[in-house]
Chain A
Amino acid sequence: MSSLARRRTTDYAVKAISTGFAALSLVLLAWILWTLLSRGLPALGPHVFTNITAPPGAGGGLLNAIVGSLIQIGVALVIGTPIGLMCGTFLAENGRGTQIGNVVRFVNDVLLSAPSILIGLFVYQLLVVPFGGFSGWAGSIALAILVIPVVVRTTEDMLALVPIGLREAAFALGAPQWKVVTFITWRAARAGIVTGILLALARAAGETAPLLFTSLGNNGWSLNMSAPMASLPIAIYQYAASPFEDWVALAWAGALIITVGVLTLNVLSRLVLAKMK
């Protein structure tokens, strides 16, 4: 075989293998989704949304877990979003090119990828031990700590897309910085910032590990934020590992609900982001 023919063959072979790898990743994604649909859909009935968790065979649902998750995610967003938004703004407006800005950005990047179970352990030490018990508050704060770096990152990225001229125009009119930021830059980057919050929501919704040691889970109906609180991921974890068929089925139903929610949020945010850029 001539050298040229050999090089061509290598080229074709690598292209074929690479295409195969891409196809493989899509097949694996489809396989996971198919598993969720084929096992979760049959288990998904109205009882999942109307009944609270119950002993095996008693026809329990996931209502308390779903409500508990919604509450904790809601509180986490209320706590985490303003901090993340302000910190992202700090990085984009005040911290650009400064030493402190670089350090904050670096630390935020580390927090973004830090093991979420350690955030759970941290909040356990910080709140659960001193205040004498697992609570919905502790769970919410653990999730808030996961929300912050995501919001910081997207806020900074989105604000960086706002043209400098827009800010200069506002400053030239004598506007103070708080007005420039709130009325000009935030408004210009609104869609992107909201997308970041949605991504943070999606991340918080699927997290299990940080809730294990903070809100613990609760098999009864409780809206008390100072008591252990149920959540969907913890219920799934508890049920998936159980020997009871109806519990395992409920776990699959819960897994389907979470995944559909999280993937929908992700696809939506990516569509918005693609439009912005």
Chain B
Amino acid sequence: MAASISGTEADTALIAAHKPTGRISDPIFVGLLWASGIFVLVLLGLIIAMLFEGGLPALREFGISFLWSTTWNPVTERFGAGVMVFGTVASAVIAVIVALPLSFGIAFFLTEIAPGPLRRPIGVAVQLLAAIPSIIYGMWGFFIVVPLIAAYVQPPLIEWLGPIPLLGALFQGPPLGAGMLTAGLILALMILPFITAMFVEVLESVPPMIKESAYGVGATTYEVYRNVSVPYGRTAMVGAVMLGLGRALGETMAVTFVIGNATRMSASLFAPGATIASTIANEFPEASIGSLKLQALLQLGFILFVISFIVLALSRLLVRSKLKG
């Protein structure tokens, strides 16, 4: 009896001993936690505000037509974002078109075909593609891929597909190697691991029961994948593709090395082009503080931020809505 009373007393003493420290330091600690949470929000707000404010003079100078004007002439100081917006979207769309079937295939392989012990190592190896820095893709693309494409891919395509009316417009121009298509291919390889990883995550969340019932009525592995697993995860998988698209839109160094950096609009996949990110990286060194060119580059940055924000936000909403339900 005495022991239990002293035990209670000890507990009371322990709580009493803790309370003063808790009373003073807890609000500080919890305040710090809240502050860092709010900090992230402020950070995003600041980024948007600074880019917008920095580019505002260019917007005032050229008006809203800055968004689609295809003039980019540093000599006469006439600037427009049209070519870069087109290049950004076109290269990212090419990347998604190329990466999507590959991701579907690799996710199918990783979830249904690969033998158990091989699954993880191969999955990790695919993920390592995402870890390689952008500039390494740029060097590899510039020194290895561009010459190969110029020598073996472009000449036959220009010869065979070039003369076809309409479609041929995509395959015009000299076989330079560097250009929109090459940038799209390198970007595809870079976003492939992101899309694949999320595909695998979604496919693994498909309840085994519904897959088994499909197998039970005699469906093949591919039929289950196509008619059960993929439809089940459709929303989140669209989100995954959007994430890949968002990543491709803002990729800088790799694209700068292989896109050819020409601020001209061209319908040909082989023509050199420019993205917003590559233009900023390329032309920034020649833009002095306060110059109209710098303001135009900042405005380009703001446009890129808005585009990628919308795409990434959409991606998160789609992925979360599905994984939650």
B-binding residues in A (CB < 8 A)? 7-8, 10-11, 14-15, 17-22, 24-26, 28-29, 31-32, 35-36, 39, 83-84, 86-87, 89-91, 93-95, 100-101, 103-104, 106-111, 113-119, 121-122, 125-126, 129, 145, 148-149, 152, 173-179, 181, 202, 205-209, 212-213, 233, 236-237, 240-241, 251-252, 255, 258-259, 262-263, 266-267, 270, 274
Alpha-carbon separation in the docked complex, A235 to B18 (Å)? 54
For A233, the chain B residues whose CB sits under 8 A away are 133, 135, 253
**How far does the alpha carbon of A101 sit from the alpha carbon of B41 in the complex, in Å?**
11
| A-contacting 9-mer, from B205-213, B230-238, B266-274, B298-306 | B298-306
Decide: A107 near B108, CB < 8 A? Known: A174-B18, A237-B253. no
Q: Which residues of B contact A7 (CB under 8 A)?
A: 220, 223
Asked if B18 contacts A176 (CB within 8 A), the reply is yes
26 contacts between A and B (CB under 8 A): A7-B220, A15-B221, A22-B105, A22-B106, A29-B129, A36-B136, A87-B39, A89-B33, A110-B313, A110-B316, A113-B246, A122-B50, A125-B54, A126-B46, A145-B43, A174-B14, A174-B19, A176-B25, A179-B18, A179-B21, A208-B252, A233-B133, A233-B253, A240-B139, A240-B142, A262-B131
Secondary structure at the B interface, as helix, strand, loop or mixed, is helix
Minimal beta-carbon separation of B50 from chain A (angstroms): 4
Tell me the minimal C-beta distance from A37 to chain B in angstroms: 12
Contact of A209 among B18, B113, B252 (CB under 8 A): B252
B304 to chain A, nearest CB (A): 6
When distances are taken between beta carbons in the complex, the residues of chain A under 8 Å from B153 are none
Query: Known contacts A17-B105, A259-B133: does B243 contact A111 (CB below 8 Å)?
Result: no
Across-interface contacts of A95 in B (CB, < 8 A): 37
Identify the interface centre among A95, A118, A251: most chain B CB within 10 Å of its CB. Answer: A118
Interface residue B128 (Cβ < 8 Å from any Cβ of A) = yes
A178 to B309, CA, bound (A): 35
Complex: chain A residue closest to B224, CB-CB: A11
Task: Provide the B113-148 mask, 1 if CB < 8 A to any CB of A, else 0.
Answer: 110000010101111110111111111101110000
Q: Which residues of A sit under 8 angstroms from B19, Cβ to Cβ? A: 174, 176
Question: How many inter-chain residue pairs (CB < 8 Å) link A and B?
Answer: 264
> A252 with B298: in contact, given A90-B36, A207-B133 (CB under 8 Å)?
no
Nearest CB of chain B from residue A24's CB, rounded to whole Å:
7
User: Contacts A25-B192, A28-B189 known; A111 to B43 CB distance under 8 Å?
Assistant: yes
The docked-state distance in angstroms from the alpha carbon of A107 to that of B120 is: 31
Contact partner of A119 among B47, B110, B309, B316, CB < 8 A?
B47
Contact A21 B105 (CB under 8 A): yes
Check A129 against B289 for contact (C-beta < 8 Å). Answer: yes
Q: Are A267 and B128 within 8 A (Cβ)?
A: yes
* Count, chain B residues at interface, CB 8 A: 92
- In angstroms, Cα B40 to Cα A107, docked, is 7
Does B109 count as interface, using CB distance less than 8 angstroms?
yes
Residues of chain B lying within 8 A (CB to CB) of residue A152: 40
Task: Name the CB-closest residue of B to A199.
Answer: B131
Whether the pair A111, B133 counts as a contact (CB closer than 8 A) is no
Known: A15-B113, A173-B14. Contact between A114 and B132, CB under 8 A? no
Assembly CA distance A275 to B124 (angstroms): 14
* A104 engages B41 (CB within 8 Å): yes
Q: Are A18 and B25 in contact (CB under 8 A)?
A: no
> Is B151's beta carbon under 8 Å from chain A?
no
Residues of chain B within 8 A (CB-CB) of A107 are 40-41, 44
Complex Cα–Cα for A22 and B126 (A) = 8
Indicate if the CB atoms of B36 and A86 lie closer than 8 Å.
yes
Q: What residues of chain A lie closer than 8 Å to B133, measured between beta carbons?
A: 205-208, 233, 258-259, 262
Q: How far is the CA of A252 from the CA of B135 in the complex (A)?
A: 11
CB contact between A106 and one of B131, B304, B305, B313 (< 8 Å): that residue: B313
Shortest distance from the beta carbon of B43 to any chain A beta carbon, whole Å = 7
Q: Chain A contacts of B309 at CB under 8 A?
A: 110, 114
Closest residue of chain A to B135 (Cβ to Cβ) is: A208
Given contacts A29-B128, A109-B312, A263-B128, contact A19 B139 (CB under 8 A): no
Chain B residue contacts of A28, Cβ below 8 A: 129, 189
Give me 16 other A-B pairs in contact (C-beta within 8 A), A32-B136, A259-B133 excluded: A24-B102, A26-B122, A36-B140, A83-B36, A87-B37, A111-B44, A113-B250, A114-B250, A117-B281, A117-B301, A125-B51, A125-B53, A145-B43, A206-B132, A236-B135, A270-B124
Please tell me if B15 contacts chain A, counting CB pairs below 8 Å.
yes
Judged by a CB distance under 8 angstroms, whether B280 is at the interface is: yes
Residues of chain A with a CB closer than 8 A to B114's CB: 22
A24 and B51 CA atoms in complex are apart in Å by: 40
Assess the B144–A206 pair: CB atoms within 8 A: no
A29 to B257, CA, bound (A): 19
> A10 vs B35: C-alpha distance in the bound complex, in angstroms?
56
A29 to B106, CA, bound (A): 14
Bound complex: CA of A89 vs CA of B247, how far in Å? 27
Given the known interface contacts A29-B125, A119-B47, A208-B253, the answer about A19 and B281 at a Cβ–Cβ threshold of 8 Å is no
Is B134 within 8 A of A208, CB to CB?
yes
Nearest Cβ distance between residue A214 and chain B, in whole angstroms?
11
- Judged by a CB distance under 8 angstroms, whether B29 is at the interface is yes
